[in-house]
Each structure stands twice: as structure tokens, then as C-alpha cells.
Structure 1
């Protein structure tokens, strides 16, 4: 348990060191021309969006005005947290029963109550199973948290005005230079 806390503190410290770095002088905006505010791109927006998402998941998406993404982030992280807590509770139940089985004392899986009787090997397999699921849930939740930060940062880098949505599809018939036979092909062009 202590190594998990050390790992989490290490992650938080590394995120803090990334966000605490000073912005170079050539990137700082000293004067903003307010006459053409629509055409200006805020160069600090990606770091703000990432910081907001790191502080509270989904806040970077709200900062980017992509409100529809916030419930997806909350649902994904909430699902991961739910499975972590559920698997941790089951792991603790089977671990406690396993410890009591080793000492010969009664426990919830000894066959006297509603639960079936489980052997010592079954209790050991069950706690191993739920421990693996708990750890997997934790890693997936941390991965979703990191993806939330990355998504907010990338989305802030790509404002809607900077994207050209004029993508064309032009099917053509052309001659193959080697065989002189007609062939059908398609071209897709992207303009940047």
C-alpha cells in the first residue's frame, strides 16, 4: 500500500514540475490587439487546459468549450474508480477469510452462512484474482486520467478555425504506364 502512495506522489510531483516551468520570454504576450480578437490564438491555452484537467478531470474540456466531452471523462474515470473500489472490497473480504482459515477460526466462507464453503486454495485464488483486477483497474483509471490531460492539451492546440474542413474525394480513371490498361483509382487531398 505504501508503494502505491509513493508512486502516486511521484506522479503528482512530476506533473507539478512540468506545470511549474517558466514560460520563455519570446512566448509571453506583452500586448494584445483587441481589434481582431477572433483571429488571435492564445498560445498559453494548451498549458492552461492541461493544468485544469490535471487539477480536476474534465475541467480542461470545459475550458476548451467542448462541454460534451466532460460527461465522457467523468464517466470513464468514475467507472474506473468504481471497479477499483469494488475489486478492493472483494479482495479484502477474501483476504480476511483466508487469514481466518489459516488460524482455524470461523469466517464468512466456512459454509455456515449464506456463502458456500471455500477451501484454503479457493480463498487464495479468489484474493489473487481480485487483487489483479484491482491493480488493473487502478492502471486503467490512471491511464484515462492521463489521456484526459493529453486530450485537453491537444484540443487546445487545434482550434476549430485552424482546421480546413474542405476535404475532397475525386474518383478518376487513368492509364497504367506499364501495361497501358485503364484502371480505376481515387485521390484524397488534404490542404494545410
Structure 2
């Protein structure tokens, strides 16, 4: 009985000592972070990567381009950089087929298309020589033909055939119809040969324009490379033999 009373007394004492502490606000163990201030979402901080300056004028120049204001945005205007004659020549796209067709239509036109004007005088000089020789040998062949007829049949211009002892062919005096016939065949062959050479020169002119156009468009950049690769080479009588292969890469 005494023990029960003692425990009750101790319980009441402890309860009385804790009542004043329950009336106070205890300090929290973890202090919360302060609540951030509200931010207006309509105001955005401008990106650091955006380096276009703000302006109020009609245009602004950045590098070689001009920017114009259109509403609230910037629109790139047409590039006003002038291109030099050398840059125009480098931008000239050469098509070998076009150069060949132009040369077949008119000699020298393909060379002009390739911008190789210095070749045109040589082409027409060749045609001039061929034309001169053609006219000359055609005239000599006509003289030899007339001389052959005069020596063989005589002069019939007066109505009666008069015998002719000699004729002049070029700078040569001919007294035989057989000799006149030989001169005629010789000069005729030279005349026909110049006609054939003129046709050949026309074809060479077209081929040259095509080759020059291909050389102008040939890729000489660093993309062309060569490398060595191991390979197995079949050899007759010995079978497969290890070797080295050279590989050229054209890009």
C-alpha cells in the first residue's frame, strides 16, 4: 500500500513539473528555407547567346549583311556585297557537253565558253591556211585540166581545132598531155586533202574544247587521297601470295 501511494505521488510531481513546459512553443529541429518572392513569368531574362543589338532605326549592319526591322522581329535583307570579275569567273560553271556542242556549231565558240580566248586565233589561223591551200590547188587543178584538153584536142575557141604545142600550168611549161594529166591528178589530190584536213581541224577543235572543259572541272582538292592496303594476289603456279594494293579515293 505504501509503495502504491509513493508511485502516485511521484507521478503527480512529474506531471506538475511538465505542465509549465507544455504551455511554451518549442523551437523546431530544422529551420525551413525562406519562401522565394513571386516572379512575373511574362518577363524573361534575355539569353546571353543572343548578340543582336537592339535598335530603333530602319536597318542595322552585321558583317556583310543587313538586318531590317519588320514588326517586332529582325529579317535578313538581301546581301549587297559586290562580286569581283575574278570571283565571277570562278563561279562560272563549265559543262563539257555544252563546250563540245558549241564548238561543233561554230569553231572557237567552245573555247570562248571555257574562257580560253587565246586559242581562238590559232583555230582560225588553221582554217585560214586550209582555205588558202584549197583555193590555190583548185585553181592549179583547173589549169592542168584546161591544159590537158588543149594538148589533147587543140584550141577549139575559134571554131576550128588548132593544135597547141605547150601550155603553162602554174609556173611550169608542159608540152605533153600525159604530163598535164599527172599535174591535174596531183593538184586534185592536194585540193581534196585540204578539204579533209579542214574537217579534221573542225573535229579537233570540238575535242579540244571538251578536254579543256573536263580539265577545268577536274577536282584537285585534298579530297583526292592515296592509301596502301594489304591484299592477297593470286599468282599462277604458286597460288595466293600476300601483297600490297594501292587505293586511290576520289570524292
**TM-score band, normalised by shorter chain:** 0.5 to 0.7
The structure in which a higher percent of residues are helix is: 1
Cα distance change, pair 86–40 in 1 and its aligned pair in 2 (3 A): closer
Equivalent residues in 2 for 1:124-135 (5 A)? 124-135=181-192
Q: What RMSD over aligned residues (CA atoms) do the two structures have, in Å?
A: 3.2
Residue 71 of structure 1 pairs with residue 124 of structure 2: no
The CA deviation string for residues 54-89 of structure 1, in whole angstroms up to 9 with x for no partner, is 121111111110011111111112111211111111
Match of 1:110 among 166, 169, 181: 166
How much has 1:116 moved relative to structure 2?
A: 2.5
The CA deviation string for residues 23-60 of structure 1, in whole angstroms up to 9 with x for no partner, is xxxxxxxxxxxxx9857854xx2222112211211111
Residue 51 of structure 1 pairs with residue 101 of structure 2: yes
* Residue 173 of structure 1: aligned partner: none
Contact 1:50 1:60 in 2 (8 A): yes
Cα distance change, pair 67–117 in 1 and its aligned pair in 2 (3 A): same
Distance 1:60 1:40 in 2: 14
Equivalent residues in 2 for 1:1-192 (5 A)? 38=90, 41-42=93-94, 45-105=95-155, 110=166, 116-159=173-216, 162-163=219-220
Structure 2 SS opposite 1:162: coil
How much has 1:191 moved relative to structure 2?
A: 9.6
Contact 2:165 2:175 in 1 (8 A): yes
Cα distance change, pair 53–89 in 1 and its aligned pair in 2 (3 A): same
TM-score normalised by length of structure 2? 0.44
TM-score normalised by length of structure 1? 0.57
Distance 1:52 1:108 in 2: 54
The CA deviation string for residues 133-179 of structure 1, in whole angstroms up to 9 with x for no partner, is 11111111111110001111121122166347xxxxxxxxxxxxxxx
Cα distance change, pair 143–131 in 1 and its aligned pair in 2 (3 A): same
Distance 1:67 1:143 in 2: 21
Cα distance change, pair 47–78 in 1 and its aligned pair in 2 (3 A): same
